[in-house]
């Protein structure tokens, strides 16, 4: 029959062994975290952020183009200050999107397909900028012809919508929207 002291020593040894295993597991996990043994490399995570950032700027620019188009649909003339305000917002968001897409390309410089897609996004944004210059020239007259504003904002919208479609393709490279945890981890927050 075992004595109480023997049982105490055996359970104490087991507890010490469990503590050592837990401590070793925690040390390994903290080393892996400290040295970036993460499931996604930092550059890839940065790329996912830049996709979301650029997409947000793109959406904001598109929203301002649509608002201006709706305003123009209400009358024959659009006040120059209204055109200037929305054109400035579109320009700001276009510049932000360009910067985001430049950083996206830098996040994975060896990915030629991504580089080509980013170049297409930036070319469309250049076309948006060219349309903005025409729109601003109309606004300089204090009033702009509604038909011209509608035509130019329609062109701007088409470029921004094409970017939005391409950004979905890029999103699919960074996110697995079919995963069970897509909506629970916050991964889908930027995509939706």
- The reported pTM is 0.69
Q: Across residues 154-182, what is the average pLDDT?
A: 78
Does residue 68 share a domain with residue 1?
no
Residue 180, in any domain of the structure:
no
Does residue 78 share a domain with residue 17?
no
How big is the chain, counted in residues? Answer: 192
CB 61 within 8 A of CB 93: yes
Does residue 72 share a domain with residue 164?
yes
Does residue 161 share a domain with residue 111?
yes
pLDDT reported for residue 9: 54
Does residue 11 share a domain with residue 62?
no
What is the domain extent for residue 15? 1-37
Number of domains in the chain: 2
pLDDT reported for residue 46: 65
CB 91 within 8 A of CB 132: yes
The C-alpha atoms of residue 130 and residue 144 are separated, in whole angstroms, by 17
The C-alpha atoms of residue 192 and residue 187 are separated, in whole angstroms, by 10
Residue 60: pLDDT over 70: yes
Does residue 141 share a domain with residue 113?
yes
Does residue 124 share a domain with residue 64?
yes
Residue 132: pLDDT over 70: yes
């Amino acid at each position: 029959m075992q004595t109480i002291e023997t049982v105490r020593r055996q359970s104490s040894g087991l507890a010490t062994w469990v503590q050592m295993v837990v401590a070793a597991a925690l040390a390994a996990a903290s080393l892996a975290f400290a040295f970036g043994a993460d499931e996604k490399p930092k550059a890839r995570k940065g790329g996912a952020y830049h996709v979301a950032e650029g997409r947000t700027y793109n959406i904001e620019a598109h929203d301002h183009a649509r608002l201006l188009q709706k305003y123009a649909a209400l009358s024959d003339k659009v006040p120059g200050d209204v055109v200037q305000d929305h054109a400035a917002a579109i320009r700001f968001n276009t510049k932000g999107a360009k910067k985001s897409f430049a950083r996206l390309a830098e996040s994975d410089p060896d990915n030629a397909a991504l580089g080509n897609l980013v170049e297409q996004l930036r070319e469309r944004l250049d076309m948006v900028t060219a349309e903005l210059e025409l729109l601003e020239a109309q606004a300089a007259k204090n009033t702009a012809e509604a038909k011209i504003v509608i035509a130019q904002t329609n062109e701007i919208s088409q470029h921004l919508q094409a970017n939005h479609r391409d950004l979905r393709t890029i999103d699919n490279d960074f996110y697995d929207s079919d995963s069970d945890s897509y909506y629970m981890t916050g991964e889908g927050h930027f995509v939706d």
